[in-house]
Structure 1
Amino acid sequence: MSEFDTLGLKPKLNDALRSANLKTPTPIQAKAVPLALAGHDVLGLAQTGTGKTLAFGLPLVDHLLDMPDRPAAKTAKALILAPTRELVNQIADNLRTLTGKTNLRVTVVVGGQSINKQIHQLQRGTDILVATPGRLIDLMDRRAVLLSEVRHLVLDEADQMLDMGFIHALRKIAPKLGTPRQTMLFSATMPKQMEDLSKAYLTNPKKVQVAPPGKAADKVTQSVHHLASKAEKPGKLREILSKDMDALTLVFSRTKHGAEKLMKGLVADGYNAASIHGNKSQGQRDRAIKAFRDGTITVLVATDVAARGIDIPGVAYVINYDLPEVADNYVHRIGRTARAGREGEAIAFCAPDELDLLWQIEKVMKMTVPVASGVAPSEPVARKTNTRGRGRGPAKATRPEGAKAKPNSNRRRRRRSGGGGQQAA
């Protein structure tokens, strides 16, 4: 008898879990599933790699099995929002493991794929719609999807959705959903904005927390290499990669341009490397992740857009080639290793002008990252600034990858001379 059998799930779901060789629920699943089955709104806090997808997926599918009627055209019974294409596809794959022997339909809509094909798929309606907020808004604007029948809403990795600027999309989506409904919100961290979000969209939620926010998985071994300059990073990376050429290694770069440049340099030096970032098409990203999972590619260079969208148990190393601007993202990055009970290693590079970022990470983690090599300067070197600002920080504020640019209200300005009141084009 499986321990899942004690959670009160329907026999079909228990059979699906046994077929997938899943016997013991993780702590977040054991705590969240009974509450969600009872109909409560759930606020779940747990680090990456702890099984949050089944924590909301199991009760969601269980409830939908009690709603056997086919969905009407263009409608959905349940909506799951996630911040990245990779995470949406991962969630859908996990749900199909549960719904394979049922009549429930799972539909995915993400950017980077044919919107006309997605419109066609939605024509017949779906039971579970898994979507990125941006593409869902596009489909709503085209009246290709109606959300008034949605009775279950899941916000997965909600803190990253906030980081990526999707809060405005959520405010546009939420009023279109049906009521009453059950809402489940899952996140790895609980910043102030997340508290506000939970108060706005959840009703008397049951809070489930299985690990303190900002805590890495217990089986992740962490270390940092202090470098004299950024110019030392390429050599140090190759030194580490050459020690275990067959290991799956995920390397994080801060920018899309940096990730692509780093990948091309590695390929030129004979490494089996690929990259995924916001400038890659969905097909390119899917092929790169598949090759990485299969072991055809052993080094995957990524930006934070992929930090929570890769669920590959075999990742042995995560290398923070560039430290993240947002300290919480460090936790999400290193959560790509030591998954499914395995051990993993997280290695960080820290140039002098990144020392302040390391200090922020250690504050969030409530620990000092062990030093593998080098000596940290006593004070961080000031990071490059532009001529209009002071203090540390990037030279130019950039929007998070994946978020849409805001319209420029000052694009049309009156010319100061020679225009006679005309406006600039």
Structure 2
Amino acid sequence: MPFKKLHTHLKERLAILQIETPTPFQSKSIPVIKSGANVYCTASKGSGKTTTLILTTLHKLKCEAVGDSPRAVVIVENKEKALALYDEFLNYTKHTSLRVYVGYEQLHVDIQKSEIFEGIDILISTPIAMNKLLLLNGLNISQLKVFSVDAAEFLIQKSAYTALMSVTNSIDKCQFVIYSEKMHPILKRFESHFMEYSKIIAV
């Protein structure tokens, strides 16, 4: 049972949220993601991908704040998706010291830089907004442990794809996890870049 081997805080939050049994996708994917491998996670809508992303990210960070630089990044398509995912993260980070921050193109980059400088653990951002932060030295990614892309189909857009490639080129060592409903050829292309030796979980 994947939930049994998660951080104690997460098991408590799952109990409060009345989530008792992992979905087939979660049973298959959580142990593989926890192993530290690069993973492509493909499963249909409603299979528990977003909850898996949150649980495995928080488990990796041991549910506590450390330092000032982000140790986890989650890339999403747009501001709406970023804010929605932020709300979902808050369901699980309650009563922890973890700091979750949301960045997107519509928020001035100088504001993002100064707020991130205060110290964050998890950055939820669009690829374009994150790339801009990196180009302006507004983000220290030396402590990054896990980099996830949620609902990655949007990367077929050229601007998003190019920005993501630029971002991942700046990252030295990190676990990458990509979540999507189907394995799109453009996602497969990442195998020769940052998704080396990746495993595929398909449900």
Report the counterpart of residue 66 of structure 2 in structure 1: 70
Aligned length: 203
Assess if the C-alpha contact under 8 Å between 1:28 and 1:52 holds in 2. yes
Report the counterpart of residue 29 of structure 1 in structure 2: 26
Report the counterpart of residue 113 of structure 2 in structure 1: 119
- Output aligned runs, 1:157-176, within 5 Å: 157-163=151-157, 165-176=159-170
- For the residue of structure 2 that corresponds to 1:125, the secondary structure is coil
- For the residue of structure 1 that corresponds to 2:121, the secondary structure is strand
Q: CA deviation at 1:25?
A: 1.9
Report the counterpart of residue 19 of structure 1 in structure 2: 16
* Structure 2 residue 177 is matched with structure 1 residue 187: no
- Normalising by structure 2, what TM-score? 0.90
Report the counterpart of residue 152 of structure 1 in structure 2: 146
In structure 2, relative to structure 1, the CA distance for the partners of 1:98 and 1:164 (3 Å cut) is farther
- For the residue of structure 2 that corresponds to 1:44, the secondary structure is strand
In 2, Cα distance between equivalents of 1:109 and 1:53: 18
Assess if the C-alpha contact under 8 Å between 2:72 and 2:121 holds in 1. yes
In 2, Cα distance between equivalents of 1:193 and 1:28: 23
In 1, Cα distance between equivalents of 2:65 and 2:53: 22
Structure 2 residue identity aligned to 1:20: L
Structure 1 residue identity aligned to 2:49: K
Report the counterpart of residue 204 of structure 1 in structure 2: 197
* Structure 2 residue 55 is matched with structure 1 residue 58: yes
In 2, Cα distance between equivalents of 1:52 and 1:96: 17
In 2, Cα distance between equivalents of 1:69 and 1:94: 18
Q: CA deviation at 1:14?
A: 0.4
Assess if the C-alpha contact under 8 Å between 1:42 and 1:207 holds in 2. yes
Superposed CA deviations along residues 378-412 of structure 1, whole A, max 9, x for unmatched, are: xxxxxxxxxxxxxxxxxxxxxxxxxxxxxxxxxxx
The two structures, once aligned, show a CA RMSD in angstroms of: 2.0
In 2, Cα distance between equivalents of 1:204 and 1:112: 36
Report the counterpart of residue 7 of structure 2 in structure 1: 10
Structure 2 residue identity aligned to 1:189: K
Report the counterpart of residue 88 of structure 1 in structure 2: 82
Superposed CA deviations along residues 215-267 of structure 1, whole A, max 9, x for unmatched, are: xxxxxxxxxxxxxxxxxxxxxxxxxxxxxxxxxxxxxxxxxxxxxxxxxxxxx
- Output aligned runs, 1:230-379, within 5 Å: none
Assess if the C-alpha contact under 8 Å between 1:36 and 1:56 holds in 2. no
Structure 1 residue identity aligned to 2:57: L
Structure 1 residue identity aligned to 2:187: M
In 2, Cα distance between equivalents of 1:151 and 1:39: 9
* Structure 2 residue 91 is matched with structure 1 residue 97: yes
Q: CA deviation at 1:165?
A: 3.3
Assess if the C-alpha contact under 8 Å between 2:72 and 2:146 holds in 1. yes
Structure 1 residue runs of 4 or more that deviate by more than 4 Å after TM superposition: none
Q: CA deviation at 1:44?
A: 0.5
Q: CA deviation at 1:69?
A: 6.2
Out of 15-24 and 192-201, give the one that drifted further. 192-201
- For the residue of structure 2 that corresponds to 1:204, the secondary structure is coil
Structure 1 residue identity aligned to 2:98: L
**Larger RCO (CA under 8 A, 6+ residues apart):** 2
- Normalising by structure 1, what TM-score? 0.45
In 1, Cα distance between equivalents of 2:28 and 2:192: 21
